[in-house]
Amino acid sequence: MRRFLITSIALISVVAISSPASAARLRAYEGETSAGTRIDFLIRVADDGRLSLKEMYIKVELLCEDASAIEYRSWWGFGGVGHRLEGRRLELDLVFGAEALHVAGVFRSRTADGTYKNTQATLTDAEDAQLCTTGDLTWTADRVPRDRLPELDARIEGVVTRHVDDHVVQRVAYLG
């Protein structure tokens, strides 16, 4: 079984009018998926209490149709005020290129939980098309001090940048 490490980074720019930096606080959540892998979130809390997703990091394994596995690491950053939550509920459904990402969850003051699924079209060693997926995972997370989450640079060494469109940048590294 071949293993690949895929690290993707998507930076989504959102045109928004920002309030002063002092008007928002950031909450960091560190958690684990039902597959035993890491998932982290950075949530912005505005003065009026509205929540937005600013960053998300996940490390999971995608299982492929040919029985191979891909170790997948992904960091997402959202510009402006971030991806707005409906109350405390996160609903994130992104489909771009050969990847579909679905994340849902509820963020409380000290804990969070939800679901995660990632599906990607890839090629086998014989260059035949196949799908690789995490399947439907659940996750739980606890609020932690902001400085406890590793910095972005420590997560994305040795990657190649590819512009998906005007608002999304994806960084990918394949390591044998």
Q: Quick one: pLDDT at residue 150?
A: 59
Residue 65 belongs to some domain of the structure = yes
Q: Quick one: pLDDT at residue 172?
A: 44
Residue 134 belongs to some domain of the structure = yes
Residue 120 belongs to some domain of the structure = yes
The 3-state DSSP class for residue 148 equals helix
Distance CA 142, CA 113 (A): 9
Provide the 8-state DSSP code for 98.
T
Per the structure, the complete domain to which residue 39 belongs is given by 3-14+25-172
Q: Quick one: pLDDT at residue 44?
A: 92
Kindly list the averaged pLDDT for each block of 10 residues, start to end, along the chain of length 176. 47 38 78 95 93 89 92 79 93 88 96 96 93 97 81 46 44 39
Nearest to 160 by CA among 5, 3, 50, 2: 5
- In sequence order, the 6+-apart residues with CB closer than 8 A to the CB of 17 are none
Q: What is the dihedral of CA 94, 63, 175, 98, to 10 degrees?
A: -30
Q: Within a 10 A sphere around the Cβ of 44, how many other Cβ atoms? A: 21
Residue 10 belongs to some domain of the structure = yes
Residue 96 belongs to some domain of the structure = yes
Give how many domains the chain has, as a whole number. 1
Q: Quick one: pLDDT at residue 82?
A: 84
- In sequence order, the 6+-apart residues with CB closer than 8 A to the CB of 49 are none
Residue 20 belongs to some domain of the structure = no
Terminal Cα-to-Cα distance of the chain (whole angstroms) = 11
Query: Helix, strand, coil shares of the chain as percentages rounded to 5?
Result: 5, 60, 35
Residue 29 belongs to some domain of the structure = yes
Distance CA 81, CA 20 (A): 11
Provide the 8-state DSSP code for 18.
P
Residue 19 belongs to some domain of the structure = no
